[in-house]
Structure 1
Amino acid sequence: MSVDFTLDAGVATITINRPEKLNAMDAEHYSGLSDAWKRVRDDDGVRVAIITGAGERSFTTGADIKSFVGAPPGLEEMWLTQKDQLLNRGLEVWKPVIAAVNGYCLGGGMTLLLGTDIRLAAPHATFSLAEVKRGVIAGNGGTQRVLSQVPYAIGMEMLLTGESMDAETAAHWGLVNRVVPAERLLDEARKLAARIAGNAPLATQAAKELAVRAREMPLSAGLRMEQVVNRLLMFSEDAEEGPKAFSEKRPPAFKGR
């Protein structure tokens, strides 16, 4: 039982490895996942990350509720807002994140999904925000992100009924990019990650941050911020390498500098 981390050619793969529990996470696994996201954020060798679950049944079903029964966090933790930060709990990770959804994506799995950038799903994947059936609400951004990622009525149906959505429906509404055969899921995610990793790292991270922040800024401020960031990037080594490689008809050797 663990949260596994591998790094190959700039692509980090994070695997929630608890298949016997449908990759549900107890406190230890949440802490391990937090450490993995911090490494993605801080390690210059990481250009893009893939998040998936071990086995063939589940991406993750979120919190292992049984492990928290009788041991709820103390009230004092309400103000430990930076403890064990997660991708979907406010940790700022500007490197692209791809989700490879290999089965159940429920509760906290769905809120994790909503914090990723690009999503591939196996045909048997299912998605739901079922917290209202348990007397609580979808935390870690569940209520805050879903309406910006699917149409209003679809998001509300998910939040208020707690019913499941299959992979094809999820793709129809844009919750995932596409459905791919289960046996090719990770390969397709890695191919996509490799294409992203081959681009200029600073520009890729800047593009992601600007697009995400645009949701909270007026257009005039966003356009100005875009202009300023682009001007800064022009002074990077990568901005020299890109046109040079194009003129020499060779792949660019971007260094993230």
Structure 2
Amino acid sequence: MSIDLTRDGSVAIITINRPERRNAMDAAHYRALSEAWIEIRDDARIRAAIVTGAGDQAFTAGADIKSFTAAAPPLAELMLTQQGQLLNRGLELWKPVIAAVNGDCLGGGMTLMLATDIRIAAPHARFGVTEVKRGLFPANGGTQRLIRQLPHALAMELLLTGDSVDAALAERWGLINRIVPADTVMSVARNYADRICANAPLAVQAAKELALRSWDVDLPTGLRLEQLMLRLLQTSEDIQEGSLAFSEKRPPRFTGS
């Protein structure tokens, strides 16, 4: 019962390892998950990450409801807005994250997936924010990201009914990138990660940051931010390596500098 973080070359893999509880997470698991995301953010050797769940039944069912509804935390904790940051709650992580959805992706699992960049799913996966069926609502970005990533009527259908949808419908709605055979979910996710890691890491992170920040700025401001970031990257060693590799007809060797 743990949050497992492994590194294979430039790729970090987070496995939510609690299959006996459908990979649901209590407070201790959320703390460990926060620490894993921070390590990925701060380790310059890591260029991309994959998050998945143990077993073949669930990506994660999200919060272990029983552990959180038994007793509310002290009200003072509400003001600790930087405590226990997660990918879907407050943490700024510009390295690409791929969700390998190997089973049900419900509640907090769905809000976690919504904060990832590329999503690969098994055919039997289901997706939903079911919290309203239990007297709650999908926090940690559920009410914020769904409405940005889906058309209004579809987002509100999920938020207000608490119903789940199958992988085929999730793919048609654009919630996930691809459905692949269950036994290939991780290998396909890894293929995406390897292709990303072959690119210039500073450029990849800049592209992700600019794309996500575009949600909060007007177009002229976004275009100006692009211009400034591009000018900054023009001073990098990687842009010189990319140009040289192109002229020499060889794969580039990017260092992130």
TM-score category (smaller protein): over 0.9
In the aligned structure 1, how far is the partner of 2:93 from the partner of 2:125?
Answer: 25
Task: Give unpaired runs (5+ residues) of structure 1.
Answer: none
* Number of the residue aligned with 1:24: 24
* Number of the residue aligned with 1:49: 49
Please show how residues 85-100 of structure 1 align to structure 2 within 5 Å. Answer: 85-100=85-100
TM-score of the aligned structures, taking structure 1 as reference length: 0.99
Please show how residues 120-139 of structure 1 align to structure 2 within 5 Å. Answer: 120-139=120-139
In the aligned structure 1, how far is the partner of 2:71 from the partner of 2:158?
Answer: 29
Please show how residues 243-254 of structure 1 align to structure 2 within 5 Å. Answer: 243-254=243-254
* Number of the residue aligned with 2:101: 101
Using the aligned pairs only, state the percent identity: 63
Task: Give unpaired runs (5+ residues) of structure 2.
Answer: none
* Number of the residue aligned with 1:242: 242
Please show how residues 139-158 of structure 1 align to structure 2 within 5 Å. Answer: 139-158=139-158
TM-score of the aligned structures, taking structure 2 as reference length: 0.99
* Number of the residue aligned with 1:3: 3
Deviations, residues 133-171 of structure 1 (Å, cap 9, x unaligned): 111111001001101111111111000000011001000
Question: What amino acid does structure 1 have at the position aligned with 2:27?
Answer: A
1:206 equivalent in alignment to 2:211: no
In the aligned structure 2, how far is the partner of 1:16 from the partner of 1:98?
Answer: 14
CA shift for structure 1 position 90: 1.1
* Number of the residue aligned with 1:38: 38
Question: What amino acid does structure 2 have at the position aligned with 1:122?
Answer: A
In the aligned structure 2, how far is the partner of 1:9 from the partner of 1:223?
Answer: 34
Q: Secondary structure at the match of 2:81?
A: coil
In the aligned structure 1, how far is the partner of 2:76 from the partner of 2:134?
Answer: 24
Deviations, residues 231-250 of structure 1 (Å, cap 9, x unaligned): 00000000100010111111
The worse-fitting range, judged by mean Cα deviation, of 63-72 and 92-101 is 63-72
In the aligned structure 1, how far is the partner of 2:44 from the partner of 2:11?
Answer: 11
Question: How many aligned residue pairs are there?
Answer: 257
* Number of the residue aligned with 1:111: 111
In the aligned structure 1, how far is the partner of 2:84 from the partner of 2:103?
Answer: 25
In the aligned structure 2, how far is the partner of 1:42 from the partner of 1:135?
Answer: 37
Question: What amino acid does structure 2 have at the position aligned with 1:15?
Answer: T
CA shift for structure 1 position 172: 0.3
CA shift for structure 1 position 68: 2.4
* Number of the residue aligned with 1:163: 163
In the aligned structure 2, how far is the partner of 1:67 from the partner of 1:158?
Answer: 24
* Number of the residue aligned with 2:74: 74
Question: What amino acid does structure 2 have at the position aligned with 1:133?
Answer: K
Q: Secondary structure at the match of 1:113?
A: helix
CA shift for structure 1 position 69: 3.4
CA shift for structure 1 position 66: 1.6
